[in-house]
Amino acid sequence: MNRILMATKTYYYALILLILASLYSCGVSKFIPNGESLYTGSEMGIAANKEIGKTKKVSQELHTLLEPEPNSKILGLRPGLYFHYKSQKKNPGFLNRWLNKKFGEEPIYLSDVNPQRIEQLMLNRLDNRGFFYSKVSSEIDSTQKHAALRYHAELQQPYTLEQFKLDKDSLAIYNDISKTLTRTEIKLGQRFDLELMKYERERIDQELKQKGYYNFNPDFLIFEVDTNRYDNKKFDLFLRLKKNVPKKSLIPYTIDSISVFPNYSINTDTLTPSRATTINGISFFQKEEFFKPKKLEPYLLFGPGQKYNSRTARLTSNRLSSLGTYKFVNIRFNEKDTTATDSVGSLSADIYLSPLTKRSVRAELQAVTKSNGFAGPGVAVTYNNRNLFKGGETFGITGNFAYETQLLGGKNTGLNSIAGGLKTDLIIPRLLPFSPKKFKYAVPKTKISLGTDFLKRSKLYTLSSFNTSFGYTWNANKFAYHELNPINVNYVNLSNTSEEFTAILEKNPFLRQSFEQQFIAGLNYTFTYNELVDPSKRNPFFVSTSLDIAGNTLNLLSGSKTSIFGLEYAQYAKADIDLRYYIKWEKEQALVARLYSGWGIPFGNSSTLPFVKQFFSGGPYSVRAFNIRSLGPGTFNSVEDGTSSFFDQSGNLKLEANLEYRFPIWSYFKGAIFADAGNVWLTNEIEIPEDEPAESREFNEELHAKGKFSSNWAKELGIGVGLGLRVDIQSFVIRFDLASPLQIPYLPEGERIRTPFLDGGSNNLIFNFAIGYPF
């Protein structure tokens, strides 16, 4: 094992030296043609008086106009440009041609830049932002063979709004426009802003479409500016309709009829069904009943006689798509003859629903490599039956099997574990027993699960479990997600324990008691707020928090006894929170910060959390400079050898922090530099019986002395740094992380700090392989 780690370390340093040597040879000045200067980029400067105030936002907008982008640099050099020039030789050779094809860049010269055009674009942008009569100039900053541009903008005092008025007449639509202006973003005292006026037109259009104006268009609105009444750079703003707007665009529309085709296919004649069913005035057409009309009707948020509402139509489409039954949802509105009245129009709505394949089977082959030396293959097979009871229900069965063996573990080499499980889910697209109409954004779902799992670890034990749950999931909006399981039951059975594992349990009362509580029943709730689903957000925020409470109901049913059905049940309360903040900028670069904390409190019938509910630290999704589940509690460290490496170190309190800088390398390859810190601790004492052997009593005292949470917790953090490579192919990510400890909590105080990648001998490198980003 030591030889392998030393070889890895030597290879790592050799690779760095090779890269640096290659970059050093990438000078391009000698290839630049005579009469040309390589364009190295542009800078932007702004001059404004104090009365104008902050100009940061204006500066950012002007920076977006600086073009073209210069050739890319790595450590101050331009390898892409170098590979291009090398490929232009008379006989470039295969390697140079290949490097140019994969990494080469066409040169950007100063002659390719048009400063006059950029200046004009900047002046237009400043005019649009109210800085009329500003000045923009540019100058060339050049050295031999290289040149940059410097732009300078001199801002004039902007025009500010003195009066905003709707210039209306007798048309009824003006009353609705007037109501929308109570929520306008245009305020008195603001400077002239053309983008804000465009936004206001779009906002008014959206609100009118929610009031029935099916044919309205934002281009029908016009803003007019009057500066003649003022001499001090103020203006009046007037909003009105353009002339010759079509009459049908000025009236609201009512939905006259609704037709739904629950089993529509473009390949078959599904528009001439043999029968129709009408529910609350909505007609459902299907030759054979595919989806029960009375189950489908509640998902439609609009009905006959209601005014057209674009938001309601969009939400209805989202709800139908989220049923899990349909791959395509198409809602078409058709205008009817409106000659009977010129004040209200009439629409018919046709809803075409194209089903997914009713039954599907998916198989996944998996290869698992863990940082504790275990590796092996796995397989998972999933069967889905959609629209099982013709009400959008989905029934799924998932079976999985995995085999792992320890390839590089010294004395533990050859140890193995076998894991498998079977899980069934029934997902009902409504919140029983409530109506779906109460939830406007998306379809709430009821989920019923039943499953069993087993884990056999050679020379140690077999752990089998049975679990069932009943709960609800729903999206409150685009970002907020809720999951509530009022019934969550888990039965765990430890069997086939070896003498060696029995000895471990006898020595470790904390571990023994965590396995004794076989029955877990309670409720759990999870709330997630995730802004990552919106790609337009530059600095998205993510928070997920959960609450898990077990044993209270059983305590009432059992009359305060410690067991039910002959099984000892657990009582505890557990909560955690996961916070993440992403700072993104150009070229797929991002800085990600994460904080995690969790705390579990056993009470009543329990002195420890069940083993499956405890917290662990270390590994590819945690503190990557330490092996999986090897940190803590506190400064404690398992010194056992042999099969005791299976013992995962745990606690009932966890604190963790991560910071990661992500950047692109080339194509699908991404890089990362990261720092992690974290550990687990104990916050409660375990009562040891008087007849407990002295060895186990000493072990327990040592465990709690070193593992107890105290004011010195910061000195007990496991801290590590590292760098990573990710292969990111359309959101499927294969991740390689190489990390090294900076602070090792289980070493004597004063010896815990070390130099990463250098101190620590053969065990100062931890290699992590994982699927997906760590957070």
- 612-657 tens-digit pLDDT: 889 999 888 899 998 888 898 999 887 543 334 445 688 999 999 9
pLDDT at position 486, please? 94
Q: What is the 3-state secondary structure (H, E, C) of 628-639?
A: CCCCCCCCCCCC
Contact 212, 307 (CB under 8 A): yes
pLDDT at position 413, please? 47
Integer-rounded Cα Rg, in Å, for the chain is 34
pLDDT at position 750, please? 86
pLDDT at position 416, please? 75
Which tokens in the block code for residue 679? 């550990």
pLDDT at position 762, please? 65
- CATH top-level class of 498-638+647-771: mainly beta
**CA within 13 Å, CB half, 307:** 15
pLDDT at position 117, please? 95
Residue 10 pLDDT grade (very low, low, confident, very high; cuts 50, 70, 90): very low
Q: Which residue has the tokens 């450590």?
A: 75
- Residue 364 DSSP SS3: strand
Which tokens in the block code for residue 436? 């779906």
Cα separation of 46 and 28, whole Å?
A: 33
* Span 276-296, average pLDDT: 92
Angstrom CA distances, 426 to 298, 357, 359, 429, 475, stand at 20, 17, 14, 10, 19
Contacts of residue 5, defined as CB under 8 A and 6 or more positions apart, other chains included, come to 762, 763, 765
Is there a shared CATH topology between the 160-250 domain and the 498-638+647-771 domain?
no
Contacts of residue 177, defined as CB under 8 A and 6 or more positions apart, other chains included, come to 166, 168, 204, 208, 239
82 Rama sector, left if φ>0, alpha if ψ -120 to 50, beta otherwise? alpha
Q: Is the pLDDT confidence value at 349 over 80?
A: yes
Which tokens in the block code for residue 332? 């078409």
Counting every residue, how long is the chain? 775
pLDDT at position 214, please? 95
Instruction: List the Cα angle 37/41/46 in 5-degree steps.
Output: 130
Which tokens in the block code for residue 58? 């204006």
Q: Is the pLDDT confidence value at 339 over 70?
A: no
The domain segmentation of the chain, as residue ranges, is 2-154, 160-250, 253-355, 498-638+647-771
Q: What is the share, in percent, of the chain residues with pLDDT greater than 90? A: 50
Residue 197 belongs to what H/E stretch? helix 194-209
Q: Is the pLDDT confidence value at 155 over 80?
A: yes
- CATH top-level class of 160-250: alpha beta
pLDDT at position 732, please? 81
* Span 71-83, average pLDDT: 82
Calculate the CA 688 to chain-centre distance.
45
Cis peptide before 252 (omega within 30 of 0): no
So what's the architecture of 253-355 in CATH?
Answer: Roll (3.10)
Residue 563 pLDDT grade (very low, low, confident, very high; cuts 50, 70, 90): low
- pLDDT tens-place string over residues 412-425: 545 678 889 999 99
CATH level 3 topology of 2-154:
Ubiquitin-like (UB roll) (3.10.20)
- pLDDT tens-place string over residues 505-529: 777 777 777 777 678 889 999 999 9
pLDDT at position 409, please? 44
Residue 12 pLDDT grade (very low, low, confident, very high; cuts 50, 70, 90): very low
Angstrom CA distances, 48 to 66, 150, 235, 501, 694, stand at 20, 17, 21, 75, 79
Q: Is the pLDDT confidence value at 284 over 90?
A: yes
Angstrom CA distances, 682 to 199, 613, 636, 653, stand at 55, 14, 11, 6
Q: At what angle do helices 79-87 and 93-103 cross, to 10 degrees?
A: 140
Cα torsion angle, 398, 403, 408, 413, sign: positive
Q: Is the pLDDT confidence value at 78 over 60?
A: yes
Q: Is the pLDDT confidence value at 426 over 90?
A: yes
Q: Is the pLDDT confidence value at 706 over 70?
A: yes
Q: Is the pLDDT confidence value at 532 over 60?
A: yes
Angstrom CA distances, 169 to 174, 186, 248, 616, stand at 7, 22, 17, 70
* Span 673-686, average pLDDT: 91
Cα separation of 768 and 773, whole Å?
A: 12
* Span 84-94, average pLDDT: 86
Average pLDDT, the chain: 85
pLDDT at position 577, please? 97
The arrangement of strands across the sheet holding 276-279 comes to 276-279, 282-285, 253-261, 345-355, 326-335
How many of the other CB atoms lie within 10 Å of CB of 754? 16
Q: What is the share, in percent, of the chain residues with pLDDT greater than 70? A: 86
Cα separation of 96 and 540, whole Å?
A: 41
Closest by CA position to 88, among listed 100, 77, 103, 78:
100
Residue 108 pLDDT grade (very low, low, confident, very high; cuts 50, 70, 90): very high
21 vs 385, which has greater pLDDT? 385
Contact 407, 373 (CB under 8 A): yes
pLDDT at position 1, please? 41
Q: Is the pLDDT confidence value at 266 over 90?
A: no
- pLDDT tens-place string over residues 371-401: 455 666 778 899 999 999 999 999 999 999 8
Contact 89, 104 (CB under 8 A): no
- pLDDT tens-place string over residues 189-230: 999 999 999 999 999 999 999 999 999 999 999 999 998 877
N-term to C-term CA, the chain:
30
Residue 719 pLDDT grade (very low, low, confident, very high; cuts 50, 70, 90): very high
Q: Is the pLDDT confidence value at 688 over 90?
A: no
Q: Is the pLDDT confidence value at 253 over 50?
A: yes
pLDDT at position 442, please? 79
Mind giving me the DSSP string for 489-550?
Answer: EEEEEEES--HHHHHHHHH-HHHHHHHH--EEEEEEEEEEEEGGG-TT-SS-EEEEEEEEEE
The arrangement of strands across the sheet holding 160-166 comes to 160-166, 234-241, 221-226
Q: In this predicted structure, which of 38-42, 231-235, 476-480 has the lowest mean pLDDT?
A: 231-235
Cα separation of 427 and 322, whole Å?
A: 12
Residue 8 pLDDT grade (very low, low, confident, very high; cuts 50, 70, 90): very low
Q: Is the pLDDT confidence value at 679 over 60?
A: yes
